[in-house]
């Protein structure tokens, strides 16, 4: 099973985009059933990018 450390930078970027879309109401929550889970996933994606020396603004 893949962990967040195994994701590519692009997969992390899309993960952030999905979380932001869920929190804004554009996408339904689906498997992430509540806002707390989505916020925690978003934090993990951002932390992993930061560990790699990436800034999510680089992708915009």
Q: Write out the DSSP string of 5-30.
A: GGS-HHHHHHHHHHHHHHHHTSS--T
Cα distance between residue 25 and residue 43, in whole Å: 18
Look at residue 6 in the predicted model and tell me its pLDDT: 93
Look at residue 58 in the predicted model and tell me its pLDDT: 60
Please name the residue that has the structure tokens 């804004």: 24
Look at residue 25 in the predicted model and tell me its pLDDT: 83
Q: Looking at the chain, how many residues does it have? A: 60
Please name the residue that has the structure tokens 């962990």: 3
pTM of the predicted protein model: 0.71
Look at residue 7 in the predicted model and tell me its pLDDT: 92
Question: Where exactly are the structural domains of the chain?
Answer: 4-58
Q: Which tens digit of pLDDT belongs to each residue from 3-56?
A: 889 999 999 999 999 888 888 888 776 766 788 888 998 999 999 988 988 775
Look at residue 3 in the predicted model and tell me its pLDDT: 87
The CA-CA-CA angle for residues 52, 19, 6, to 5°, reads: 35
């Amino acid at each position: 099973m893949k962990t967040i450390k195994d994701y590519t930078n692009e997969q992390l970027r899309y993960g952030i985009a999905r979380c932001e879309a869920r929190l804004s109401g554009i996408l339904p929550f689906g498997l992430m059933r509540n806002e707390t889970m989505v916020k925690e996933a978003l934090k993990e994606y951002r932390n992993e990018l930061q560990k790699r020396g990436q800034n999510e603004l680089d992708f915009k």
